[in-house]
């Protein structure tokens, strides 16, 4: 099975030696996104809620570049430097996803790249009746 690199200018460029996403078969592994604005490559200057929204917009752009959508995400991992912010993640997530919600884990970490307070990665499963490998 071959691996396909997924790349889009609609999401922040990788700031290291990784791909925005890798597709293998019908599964797409989306690298962690932080609240970087793709055009400026700077973090959102706003509320924590606005930062989470930017993270989901970035994930959405990568999912779409893989010919998928947020609706096909089956697993999210949320990394937070302050777990007290978790209720805001739930509130914003409810605007980007509908039932059945993806499986999810939330992990408290001491630090994230470039001082971000949130990072989210995802696994997306493309609909095999629509997409071919």
pLDDT confidence tier of residue 2, bands split at 50, 70 and 90: confident
pTM over 0.75: yes
- Is 46 a member of any domain? yes
89-112 pLDDT, tens digit each: 999 999 999 999 999 999 999 999
Q: Is residue 35 part of a domain?
A: yes
Host H or E run for residue 95: helix 86-96
CATH of the domain at 50: 3.30.1330.40
Q: How confident is residue 129, by pLDDT bands cut at 50, 70 and 90?
A: low
In a domain, 131, yes or no: no
For residues 64 and 71, give the distance between their C-alpha atoms in angstroms, rounded to a whole number: 11
pLDDT number for residue 133: 45
Mean pLDDT of 74-92: 97
The DSSP code for 70 is G
Pick from 42, 39, 21: nearest CA to 31: 21
Half-sphere CA count of 38, side-chain side, radius 13 A: 18
> In whole angstroms, what separates CA 71 from the centre of its chain?
12
| DSSP secondary structure code for residue 25 in this structure | T
Report pLDDT digits (tens) over 13-62.
Answer: 988 899 999 999 999 999 999 999 999 999 999 999 999 999 999 999 99
Q: Which residue segment(s) compose the domain that 110 sits in? A: 3-125
**Pairing status of strand 73-80 against strand 103-108:** parallel
Give domain status of residue 7, yes or no. yes
Domain assignment present for residue 133? The answer is no
Kindly state whether residue 132 falls inside one of the protein's structural domains. no
Is residue 24 domain-resident?
yes
Into how many domains does the chain fold?
A: 1
């Amino acid at each position: 099975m071959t691996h396909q690199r997924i790349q889009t200018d609609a999401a922040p460029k990788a700031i290291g030696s990784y791909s925005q996403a890798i597709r293998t078969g019908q599964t797409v592994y989306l690298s962690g996104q932080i609240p970087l604005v793709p055009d400026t490559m700077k973090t959102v200057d706003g509320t924590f809620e606005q930062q989470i929204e930017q993270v989901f917009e970035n994930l959405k752009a990568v999912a779409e570049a893989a010919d998928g959508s947020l609706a096909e995400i089956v697993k999210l991992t949320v990394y937070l430097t302050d777990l007290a912010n978790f209720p805001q993640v739930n509130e914003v997530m409810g605007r980007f996803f509908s039932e059945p919600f993806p499986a999810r884990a939330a992990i408290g970490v001491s630090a994230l790249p470039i001082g971000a307070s949130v990072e989210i990665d995802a696994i997306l499963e493309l609909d095999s009746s629509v997409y071919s490998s």
